[in-house]
Structure 1
Amino acid sequence: MENSIKYRLRNAQNKIHKTQNTLKPIFKLCNECNKKRKHLDESYQFCHLCYKAKTVLIPSGNKAVDDFIKYTRINWDVTDATFKMEFVPYDRFTDIKFIAEGGFSKVYKATWIDGPITSWNYKKQKYRRQGKMFVALKELNNSNNITSNELNELKVFYDFAIRHQKSSIVYEYTESFYDFKHYLDVNNHYGITKNPITQNFVIITDYCEGNDLAHEMANYFGLLWYQKLLILESTIHKLEMIHNVNIIHRDYHSGNILISNDFSSNLCDLGISKSAMAHDDEIYGIIPYVAPEILKRQNYTKASDIYGFGMIMWELMTGRRPFWDQDHDIDLIIKICDGLRPPIVTNAPDGYIELMRSCWHSDPNKRPTATELREKIVIMKNNEPSVNCDGRTKIIRSPDIGPIKSINPGAVYKSRSLSTMIKSAETTRSLESIDSEISKNDNLTVNDNDYLTKELELDIDNNASFNDSKDDGNDYVTEEINFDI
């Protein structure tokens, strides 16, 4: 007993001695960022963040890029969070192979020789790196003179990561660095590089094995409904995550959802995503996935993304893309604004079709939220057997469902600017409304052969047009965190 007490006292004294010899961090005003932060020792003129940033910052040749990267490295006082950006020389990538082309960029697979920063080596006074890894390089078209606004994808990712931490989402400390990737489930962005041949800037992101949902749709048509609901659960959960921090995707379709072998999904292409309070006159997207209120030039809301999710539900149900058999033109825009939706041509688990239709509601206020959708999809999934057995929802075979070999050549499934087409559709729809009103007056029945002398009055502003319900849609937007990095 006496020996045990002596051991405990000696052990406690050792701990006290160690504590007394531990160097306390020095906090003073930084000459670079002008913030009172920890300095590594008394001789440094810079805080620990600015000092470390200087060891990794490389000029890109573009002030907007350099300012943003520096901002991410010194703005937030977490030493080595993986979402802090850097400019990487193009020669640090090898085995660059073309993968795909979108409406605004080309995507390549490459090997990053050094890999991203992981932690700070205090002994060598430089960053440690992960080492060789596969990445995706997204080359932005015509971006040689990129502006701050055109860095939106990187800004949205950074803003998303910051808001997650500030909303107290738990992050994990793994070995020597803070690893945010396990909860983001949005394609991790490491920074930017520049193609020396095209002079275009290139965003560096995670490379995800597998394919996007649009390209896998033919393979997924024969899946059990349990597996399809797994995909939808993961997909809506990722949308819920960005909505929870008040970010709207604005280009939400199956081509922007990456699917892995275990049916989990990853949300990508945040290029035109914005804060829920941001407004922009330019409209981009794929017509079948664009909500009718957007086609009427109203503001984007979270409900606009939900409309696109409803189209993804239809794809998984039928194995086809919405409006695959039609030209994606002004006429289709008008039809969608007038209520056209894809046909219900097959069966689905109980409640599925009703939930899908609720996503398509013409009134964005009556669409479910991402959280409500996830909760209902989980219930459906839990009611479906996970193996091929009695009790599962069987797919009724029909020539109207299943993969198809060719689509209408006028169907465009790449994101593009739609503003000009939408304005033309607005004009056409307004003129049709006027013609309809004139036709009604022409068909007036005159009794007793009386001569009709009443003047025909048309108030164009009061006719049904794209702007009729514009203000109603704005009521859906509430005060939210301003997105301005």
Structure 2
Amino acid sequence: MDKENDKDIVVNEINILNSEVSDNLINEDFDLEIYKQHVLSQEYGLCIECNQQNTFEDWCKDCCSKKFQQNFGNWTSENAYIDKFIQESQLNASDSFELLEWIPYNKLRNIQFLAQGGFSTIFKAIRLDGWINKWDYEKHDWDRIIEELGEQDYEDSINPKTKNPLKINEKYGLPVVLKSLNDSSNINDNFLNEWKLHLQCQYRAALYGSVLAPLMGITQDPDTFNYMIVMMKMESSLRSNLLISKYNPNDKFNNLLLISAQLEAIHKLNLVHGDLHNGNILCNGFNSVNISDLGLCRPVNQPHINNNIYGVLPYMAPEVLRGKPYTKAADIYSFGMIMWEMTSGIPVFHNVPHDLNLSLNICRGIRPEIIEGMMPEYVELMKRCWDNDPEKRPTAEELEQFFFEWDRKYPTEENKEKRISIPENEPEITYHPKTYYKSRKIDYSAKINEILQSETLADCIITEEEAAAQEFSDYEEN
């Protein structure tokens, strides 16, 4: 395999799963359900070894699981829960997107701090051995996706803040992201819940022709003893691409189709994402978006963690802010905010403090101002998503159908020469100093309910006074 094109290959595979529909299927009568049946019935040829149907391109689930099983005795995380989790993923993987590996820390290079999340610390790194793609029958070993490293990688290696610096004789690797799980040195089965749910949703999403942000495996920091999830490094988050969508407006139809398909996969498992916002949606180019970070994912109507409410305030539904259980409709509310952002080009409520007052206004029904020129049908759907009444919001399946049709009607411009670049004179987004776009605990539900209830009571008193005054006025006139 051409080393320089390996990363392009895996990104292309994600894009194919995400959005490609063969031309001969598209006609005036074509609909989403037909496409789903096409995906479900897709055949990938016969396995060279067992002559049974492959479960994905160059992937036989039965044969690959046996190869993984034969190697179980050659590695260990030294944690029984993690070993079992990784082994189960390898035995059950229908393609390379659904498996994990134990990745020794010494196989990682150029480890550098990238960001501080709400519940974890994020690093970037290079994985020397690459990512499993398929079984190489000639070499009798795994074919791995890997690429030739560049000058910047060697420059990063001399940074004094870089851990495990790249050596001069190490020429190949794959960019990855490490998500360090706080206080995870004594990890147990419950602690792995996020990643179990991620793999479940990954499998379900594949049935809808899409994928969540791919996981690669687990490693452990020998200094902190914290375990770290190793993920494919995506180019950016949706937050960084909002202006691109603003100037290439057809992008939003394809992007929102992919997000709604992935959200539908989560909801079909009777789960909620629980923390959907533009920072938790990752991008590889303009036509590949993937939901990530299922740290707050849980079964529908399950109580909040320790009765605490977590999230990014501008995307939180009013009923959640008031302390009610998180439902699928709350995810849809967040989706509506993302719809607005992909037209405006700016993060929602970026110019006001993310505080009690904003929470109250959200519960009172305050929403972002409709952008001039928005497609009326789009505005109508967006307003349904952020309706104060959860029962009036559409389902993820309905959203997927809308965006499937719009994506066909308004196709993404894929010719790079015809795409519109962000103008150099585009004003820089000015954030209010008290905005906060990371997940955090929101602990004023009781105060919100107290204030809103007092407002309701005051309205009732005023209404009664007005009614009495009207009755007196009518009496005088008679």
TM-score by length of 1: 0.67
Q: Which residue of 2 aligns with 1:258?
A: 282
Residue 450 (structure 2) pairs with residue 424 (structure 1): no
1:250 and 1:273 in contact (8 A); partners too: yes
Residue 308 (structure 2) pairs with residue 282 (structure 1): yes
Q: Which residue of 2 aligns with 1:138?
A: 179
AA paired with 2:282? L
Of the three residues 101, 104, 107, the one matched with 1:89 is 104
Aligned-pair CA distance for 1:411: 1.3
Residue 302 (structure 2) pairs with residue 302 (structure 1): no
Q: Which runs of 5+ in 1 are unaligned?
A: 1-21, 24-37, 40-46, 171-182, 388-401, 449-485
Of the three residues 391, 395, 402, the one matched with 1:365 is 391
Structure 1 residues 214, 114: closer, same or farther in 2, change over 3 A? same
Separation (CA, whole Å) in 2 of partners of 1:56 and 1:123: 22
2:202 and 2:212 in contact (8 A); partners too: no
Separation (CA, whole Å) in 2 of partners of 1:103 and 1:368: 29
Residue 353 (structure 2) pairs with residue 330 (structure 1): no
CA RMSD of aligned residues (A): 3.7
Of the three residues 206, 211, 221, the one matched with 1:185 is 211
1:235 and 1:264 in contact (8 A); partners too: no
The 5 Å alignment of 1:52-91 reads 52=70, 54-60=72-78, 62-73=79-90, 76=92, 82-91=97-106
2:353 and 2:434 in contact (8 A); partners too: yes
Separation (CA, whole Å) in 2 of partners of 1:59 and 1:379: 47
Aligned-pair CA distance for 1:129: 5.4
Structure 1 residues 386, 206: closer, same or farther in 2, change over 3 A? closer
SS in structure 2 opposite 1:337? helix
AA paired with 2:200? D
Aligned-pair CA distance for 1:250: 0.8
Separation (CA, whole Å) in 1 of partners of 2:94 and 2:460: 66
Separation (CA, whole Å) in 2 of partners of 1:379 and 1:256: 25
Residue 131 (structure 2) pairs with residue 106 (structure 1): no
Aligned-pair CA distance for 1:202: 0.8
- Which one has the largest radius of gyration? 1
Of the three residues 148, 158, 179, the one matched with 2:189 is 148
Separation (CA, whole Å) in 2 of partners of 1:365 and 1:445: 35
SS in structure 2 opposite 1:204? strand
AA paired with 1:84? L
TM-score by length of 2: 0.67
Aligned-pair CA distance for 1:365: 1.7
Structure 1 residues 326, 161: closer, same or farther in 2, change over 3 A? closer
Q: Which runs of 5+ in 2 are unaligned?
A: 1-48, 51-61, 147-172, 414-425, 473-478
AA paired with 2:114? I
1:53 and 1:70 in contact (8 A); partners too: no
SS in structure 2 opposite 1:192? strand
Aligned-pair CA distance for 1:130: 5.2
Q: Which residue of 2 aligns with 1:468?
A: none
1:225 and 1:384 in contact (8 A); partners too: no
Of the three residues 207, 213, 217, the one matched with 2:238 is 213
The 5 Å alignment of 1:384-463 reads 384=410, 404-418=428-442, 420-433=443-456
SS in structure 1 opposite 2:282? strand
Separation (CA, whole Å) in 2 of partners of 1:82 and 1:276: 25
Q: Which residue of 1 aligns with 2:152?
A: none
The 5 Å alignment of 1:14-53 reads 51-52=69-70
2:202 and 2:211 in contact (8 A); partners too: no
Aligned-pair CA distance for 1:386: 6.2
Structure 1 residues 330, 71: closer, same or farther in 2, change over 3 A? same
AA paired with 1:138? K
Aligned-pair CA distance for 1:325: 1.8
Structure 1 residues 56, 435: closer, same or farther in 2, change over 3 A? farther
SS in structure 2 opposite 1:153? helix
Of the three residues 220, 224, 227, the one matched with 2:251 is 227
Separation (CA, whole Å) in 1 of partners of 2:71 and 2:119: 31
Separation (CA, whole Å) in 2 of partners of 1:364 and 1:201: 38
AA paired with 1:54? F
Identity %, equivalent residues: 33
Once the two structures are superposed, residues 64-112 of structure 1 have per-residue CA deviations (whole angstroms, 9 ceiling, x without a partner) of 43443344345x4x69855233332211101223333221222222221
User: How many residue pairs get matched?
Assistant: 374
- More helix by percentage: 2
Separation (CA, whole Å) in 1 of partners of 2:336 and 2:408: 20
AA paired with 1:422? S
Structure 1 residues 296, 130: closer, same or farther in 2, change over 3 A? same
